[in-house]
Amino acid sequence: MRNILDNKRPTWTSKYAFIITAIGSAVGLGNIWRFPYVMGQNGGAIFLAVYILLISTICFIPLMNELYIGKITKKECVGAYESINKNFKFLGALNPVTGILIASFYFIVGGWIINYIYKSIIASPIANYDDYFSTFIQMPVYPCILTLGFLFICIFLTARGIKNGIEAANKVLMPLLAVILIFLVIISVNLPNASAGLAYMFEPDFSKLNSHMILAALGQAFFTLSIGMGALLTYGSYIKEDKNLVKSVYTIILSDTAFAILAGIMIFPAVFSFNMEPNSGAGLVFVTLPKIFSQIPCGNVISCAFFVLLFCAAVTSGISILEGPCATMIERFKISRIKACAILFGIITVIAIPATLSFGVLDGIKIFDKTIFDFLDFITSNLMLPLNALFLCLISGWYLKIKGNHIIKNKILAKSFDIGLRYVVPAALICLVVMGLR
Ligand code: TRP
């Protein structure tokens, strides 16, 4: 018999629990894997300066907007949009669909992390790091098992519910993440020639400023704050009471930025100290860093700490990616959380396995000239996330006509919110979509 309590919406047990889980959602592979390499490809310090400017101004608005809509409707995505206007239901449904698609490639990287933790523990020597990484991701079976393993861990925690699963995991993993990160930063800045890496991060070269880089910073900022798939809307719907949502939003932004900057301070001094390239792209964490770890004393312990760090970050974000679709299934189809998680596990598996194999046996299958993995990344990051965020801003600004002074006490901030919500953020999001399509 189904537990009657299943029908009652859960809420966060405290404001701290809400903030730490929202930070857990924000701080993920986006901060530790993606941020350093995107920064490395876009000129270092100048990218950082633009990024900080954008994340503390423009990004505040859609982040606040998602949490606020969740908080006032107290529903999962589809229900929230439907309660605004029945015709918006389908726009709402795009959110959990985006979540399922993101999960299908995010969790593959989660699987790679498990392999690197294992490799560090057994301290097996690797002859050629570039070859090792490309051979590993092309294997037919092993990476699939790892993807499913990582998915299972996140599904398991989500299935345990808000208090015993999501909150509990974040309360343990986030402090652990902070401690490991600080430990690694201390080691990195004490390496010989670390100052070159710090200069790369903090001494801007204005000649590198261009529109492509600004949009890359904006895209990165939206992704890292988890904007655009209803994860935050769902988290916002579990808020019981928060008299100062502005402060909570800034706490989330500040913490997320601090984690990203610390990740940079951990990675770049090491990269420069060993004369490696800062702009090696996605392989920075899986090829360049392991090469460095192999050359320092106690390298495998440090390597293990680093990949555990990445694992904690990926799990807390992975949970937030799952919670949106999970809440939608629970509340729309009136099924239990366990059942919803089991179904979600099945759906994500069906998409994630071909995506995992798209580095190897299925690399011949192309959708719009992209492998399955690249295609999933492309349609979610470049199209669906900015479009979902755009629709929600338009609905709030032009349909619900939400006013900044309903939410924000400070008059100047409230007025900027109004203008941002109606004009600036939609324009920025349209630029992102247009650039993403090119
Ligand atoms: N923000 C996470 C990261 O930086 C990823 C993430 C979690 C996400 N939930 C999301 C991205 C929702 C977009 C939408 O890794």
Ligand 1 centre distance from Cα of residue 376 (Å): 14
Q: pLDDT tens, 213-245?
A: 999 999 999 999 999 999 999 999 999 987 789
Closest of 131, 132, 95, 127 to residue 116, by C-alpha: 132
Check whether 2 has a pLDDT greater than 70: no
Mean pLDDT of 188-199: 94
C-alpha–C-alpha distance, residues 267 and 253, integer Å = 21
Cβ proximity of 109 and 33 under 8 Å: yes
Ligand 1 centre distance from Cα of residue 243 (Å): 26
Mean pLDDT of 73-101: 97
Mutate to test the pocket of ligand 1, among 113, 170, 229, 377 (most ligand atoms within 8 A of CB): 229
Residue nearest to atom 11 of ligand 1 (CA): 226
Rounded to whole angstroms, what are the CA distances from 424 to 361, 391, 401, 411, 429?
44, 14, 15, 18, 9
Cβ proximity of 45 and 200 under 8 Å: yes
Rounded to whole angstroms, what are the CA distances from 352 to 80, 345, 359, 372, 373?
28, 10, 12, 9, 8
Instruction: Show Cβ contacts of residue 172 under 8 Å, excluding neighbours closer than 6 positions.
Output: none
Mutate to test the pocket of ligand 1, among 23, 25, 34 (most ligand atoms within 8 A of CB): 25
Task: Report the mean per-residue pLDDT for the chain.
Answer: 94
Phi, psi of 295 (to 5 degrees): -105, 0
Instruction: Show Cβ contacts of residue 379 under 8 Å, excluding neighbours closer than 6 positions.
Output: 101
**Ligand 1 pocket, Cβ-based, cut-off 6 angstroms:** 25-26, 28-31, 223-224, 226, 228-229, 231, 317, 320-321, 385
Long-range pairs for 401-410 at CB < 8 Å and ≥24 separation?
402/65, 402/68, 407/64, 407/68, 407/245, 407/246, 408/246, 409/246, 410/246
Closest of 268, 216, 239, 322 to residue 18, by C-alpha: 239
Ligand 1 centre distance from Cα of residue 28 (Å): 7
Token pair 């092993």 in the structure block, residue: 142
Instruction: Show Cβ contacts of residue 229 under 8 Å, excluding neighbours closer than 6 positions.
Output: 95, 96, 98, 99, 102, 321, 324, 380, 384, 385, 388
Coil, strand or helix: which one is 367?
A: strand
Closest of 132, 247, 268 to residue 193, by C-alpha: 268
Q: pLDDT tens, 39-54?
A: 998 999 999 999 999 9
Ligand 1 centre distance from Cα of residue 224 (Å): 5
pTM: 0.94
Question: How much of the chain exceeds pLDDT 70, in percent?
Answer: 98
Mean pLDDT of 161-186: 95
Check whether 289 has a pLDDT greater than 50: yes
What is the number of helices (H) and of strands (E) in the chain?
23, 0
pLDDT number for residue 7: 52
Q: Which of 7-16, 122-131, 137-146 has the highest mean pLDDT?
A: 137-146
